[in-house]
Amino acid sequence: MEKKFYLETFGCQMNVVDSEQIAGLLEEMGYEPTSIPEEADLILLNTCTIREKAERKVVGHLWQFKPLKESNPELIIAVGGCVAQQEGERLLEQLPHVGVVFGTHNIHRLPEMIQNAKKGRRSHEVAFLDKESRLRLFPTRRCDGSISQFVTVMQGCDNFCAYCVVPHVRGREISRPSTEIVAEVRRLAENGTREVTLVGQNVNSYGNYLPDGLSFAGLLVRVHEIPEIERIRFVTSHPRDISDELIKCFADLPKLCSHIHLPFQSGSDRILGLMGRGYSRRAYLDKVAFLKRVCPDIRLTTDIIVGFPGETEEDFQDTLALVEEVRFADAFTFLYSPRPNTRALNLQDETPGVVKQQRFQCLLDIQEQISLEVWAGDVGKNFPVLVEGESRQGNGQIFGRTVWNRIVNFNGGSELIGRTVPVKIIASYKNSQLGESVKI
Ligand code: SF4
């Protein structure tokens, strides 16, 4: 009987891609996936430490698996990703039922570590690799025929924003050679993929230190040339590094979806300075204006941090004013959470928690209202939807996305999967829309 693995992924798209690689390695070892932890021989959590809350959730979750290990001593519990990278051996000390801890650069070591765990040897590996070794280990997406796939183009970050743990748990920035990326997208396209999202911590600095000098805009052009690919997206962009050349791609490359995720974090120049973001409020707004000029139907999404150390009421009002000016289609809003090894830990913070919480709620309410209005504006209009599969609600509907990455559920047959079809939006909800097919 085949052994089974249960894999849970937390956090960003980088972890999603890493989990694909982990699943591939486990399948090569003879494991098959299961969605039921109770029937698994191997439980693996791929973790995120970007917020303290996310980290606590992972550790709490790991404790829940302890009774399973007690009733099945053969069960192997493994922890990977950013919490593993940050905590290393401490996780083994804290969680006696965990057998394997592997960091963000050590996924390739997993098979050997699992073999050791089978022999009762618990182990951890969290060493950062040098650039040469990392280049050989970029994950390749499996060709499972999914209509939409993520493709890693770079990893790590050199920016060291004052609040961010990423450079400490993912390492320094490294770009993957363009020939490899293009070959991977071609393979995916031959197997049915129609949309790719190019992912990296800061895709705008793609190509730094690569010998061929190709910029991220140049990479987009090469991916755009692949005939079967109908849509291209990318994430995440740093406002300081987004070039005019890249912004013009929204006008010049028809397959590039008119949506960009551009985190602004704070609307106050003083707080942006403390964060070390490297741009001003004015510079951010100028980039937004340029994006809207070259691509009038573009929609923006963003990340915002409330309650950064030293944030005054005036700073917070600057953030609200920017939100109201840009009118983001969606925003990920976060209450600042102190992370180990980051510079912000040394900043004075006298704002009471209750005030931060009130500001957070106020921002949430304003952004929710804007999002509702933006998406409600689609009702009654027709948009092309790339159909990805059967609807998750299981009510006989199919689902796809608009160019703005909004999920649309509508009635239609499975023969439409993989095709781009016109759909009329008839209702808009918080996270999705309802549509109906339009006769062509
Ligand atoms: S750009 Fe800043 S926020 Fe983004 S990953 Fe790098 S350090 Fe973190």
Domains of the chain: 3-127 (3.40.50.12160), 135-257 (3.30.750.210), 260-376 (3.30.750.200), 382-437 (2.40.50.140)
238 lines ligand 1 (CB under 6 A): yes
Helices within 327-377 (DSSP H only):
353-376
Greatest extent of the chain over all pairs of C-alpha atoms, in Å: 64
Full DSSP string of 294-317? H-TT-EEEEEEEES-TT--HHHHH
Report d(CA 102, CA 358) in Å as an integer.
39
257 lines ligand 1 (CB under 6 A): no
| 424 bridge partner residues | 382, 436
139 lines ligand 1 (CB under 6 A): no
Q: What is the DSSP secondary structure assignment for residue 265, as one 8-state letter? A: B
Q: How confident is the model at residue 96 (pLDDT cuts 50, 70, 90)?
A: very high
**Taking 70 as the threshold, does the pLDDT of residue 50 lie above it?**
yes
Distance 360 CA to ligand 1 centre (A): 21
pLDDT tens-digit profile of 275-334? 999 999 999 999 999 999 999 999 999 999 999 999 999 999 999 999 999 999 999 999
Report d(CA 214, CA 218) in Å as an integer.
6
* Structural tokens at position 332: 């990920």
Distance 160 CA to ligand 1 centre (A): 6
**What pLDDT sits at residue 213?**
83
Closest ligand 1 atom, CA of 238? 1
- Percent above pLDDT 90 for the chain: 88
Distance 390 CA to ligand 1 centre (A): 35
Which pTM was predicted? 0.92
**Taking 80 as the threshold, does the pLDDT of residue 440 lie above it?**
no
Protein residue with least CA distance to atom 1, ligand 1: 159
**C-alpha distance from residue 182 to each of 178, 202, 232, 383 (Å):** 6, 19, 13, 29
Q: How confident is the model at residue 267 (pLDDT cuts 50, 70, 90)?
A: very high
**What pLDDT sits at residue 294?**
98
Ligand 1 probe mutation, 14, 50, 82, 157, most atoms within 8 A of CB: 157
Distance 126 CA to ligand 1 centre (A): 21
343 lines ligand 1 (CB under 6 A): no
Closest ligand 1 atom, CA of 165? 8
Q: How confident is the model at residue 418 (pLDDT cuts 50, 70, 90)?
A: very high
**Looking at this protein, which amino acid is placed at residue 266?**
S
Distance 163 CA to ligand 1 centre (A): 9
Mean pLDDT of the chain: 94
pLDDT tens-digit profile of 99-155? 999 999 999 999 999 999 999 999 999 999 888 888 887 877 777 889 999 999 999
Ligand 1 probe mutation, 169, 199, 202, 208, most atoms within 8 A of CB: 202
157 lines ligand 1 (CB under 6 A): yes
Distance 24 CA to ligand 1 centre (A): 28
pLDDT tens-digit profile of 17-34? 899 889 989 999 999 999
**What pLDDT sits at residue 233?**
98
Q: How confident is the model at residue 1 (pLDDT cuts 50, 70, 90)?
A: low
CA 427 from centroid of its chain's CA atoms = 27
Closest ligand 1 atom, CA of 170? 5
275 lines ligand 1 (CB under 6 A): no
Helix-helix angle 244-252:216-224, to 10 degrees: 20
pLDDT tens-digit profile of 161-220? 999 999 999 999 999 999 999 999 999 999 999 999 999 999 999 998 788 889 999 999
Q: How many CB atoms lie within 10 A of CB 241?
A: 17
- Please check whether residue 232 is in contact with residue 223, taking contact to mean a CB–CB distance below 8 angstroms: yes
Q: What is the DSSP secondary structure assignment for residue 204, as one 8-state letter? A: G
197 lines ligand 1 (CB under 6 A): no
Beta strands in 106-167 (DSSP E): 123-125, 148-152, 154-155
237 lines ligand 1 (CB under 6 A): no
- Please check whether residue 223 is in contact with residue 176, taking contact to mean a CB–CB distance below 8 angstroms: no
